[in-house]
Amino acid sequence: MKENLHVKDNRKHREPDVGVRGNNRKHREPELEFEESAETIRQEIQEYKNKLDVFEDQMEDGRNEGLFFKNLRKKTTVDKVKAKEEAEKIKDVTREKAGSGTRKNIYLFFVGLLSFAIVDSIASTSTDWRNLAVLGAILVDLVSQFIYEQNMS
């Protein structure tokens, strides 16, 4: 905006140049319009951000509904305390069941039965080594499980 400077009585007096845009009121109106539009745009942006946050929360909840995605959900300290208590209860029950006499007798019965089957397979004239290998593998697994449960109780 150009200004014409006139000197009167040793004072400078400014007169606005009424050029293409017109007077000062017209210059202020676009600024007000711009500020109003900027404010509405800011409000819309904030509104969209809020909608996005709600949508992300809904997506997270929807994703966590399946059993596979349960561990992705944010866990609180209350959940951890409850989980530890339940784990302790499960360990106690497992120790009680593992140390029971009936379970021990069942393991010993199957160990004896497999040992007898292996000795019988070796003593027979036609020895099938594949059958003997399978029986031996089952016997080793059964003995290792028996030892594990005895150490646990």
pLDDT along the chain (153 residues), means of 10: 49 51 57 84 93 86 62 63 84 74 88 92 83 92 89 75
Decide: 104 and 153 in contact? Cβ < 8 Å: no
pTM score of the predicted model: 0.40
- Taking the C-alpha atoms of residue 92 and residue 89, their distance in angstroms, rounded to an integer, is 5
Residue 146 near residue 111, CB atoms below 8 Å: yes
Strand partners, 13: 6
SS3 state of residue 18 = coil
pLDDT over 90, % of the chain: 22
DSSP characters over 38-52: HHHHHHHHHHHHHHH
What CA–CA distance (Å, rounded) separates 67 from 70?
A: 5
Identify the bridge partners of residue 14 per DSSP, sorted by sequence position.
5
In sequence order, what are the residues at sequence separation of 6 or more whose Cβ sits closer than 8 angstroms to the Cβ of residue 7?
A: 13
